[in-house]
Amino acid sequence: MTTQTDTPGSVTTVYQVSGMSCGHCEGAVSGELSELAGVTSVQAVASTGEVTVVSAAALDEAAVRAAVDEAGFELVGQA
């Protein structure tokens, strides 16, 4: 799901990530995704596997997948 937010020019995308089980997992995924250019906010929720990313523009899914892989998890796709 990709939606425009109230902030002009920002895009909110919710991704589904498998393998997260705790706060440490959330932090690892959030840390890697925060490094992507244009990302302004990341919120990962281990209990649902959802990761909400706010960015200046739509992100390249390959870059998101690589960041999630680097954290040790698997990007399932957009929620």
For 44-62, the pLDDT digits (tens) are 999 999 999 999 999 999 9
Q: In whole angstroms, give the CA distance from residue 18 to residue 60.
A: 19
Nearest Cα residue to 46 out of 32, 26, 68: 26
- Predicted model pTM: 0.88
- Band of residue 79 on the pLDDT scale cut at 50, 70, 90: confident
What pLDDT does residue 9 have? 77
- CA 49 vs. chain centroid, Å, equals 10
pLDDT at 26 over 80: yes
What's the maximum distance between 2 C-alpha atoms anywhere in the chain?
34
Q: Domain 2-78 has what CATH class? A: alpha beta
Q: Where are the alpha helices (DSSP H) in 1-79?
A: 23-34, 61-70
Query: How many angstroms separate the Cα of 17 from the Cα of each of 14, 53, 76?
Result: 10, 12, 5
Instruction: Output the average pLDDT for the chain.
Output: 92
Task: For the chain, give every domain's residue range.
Answer: 2-78
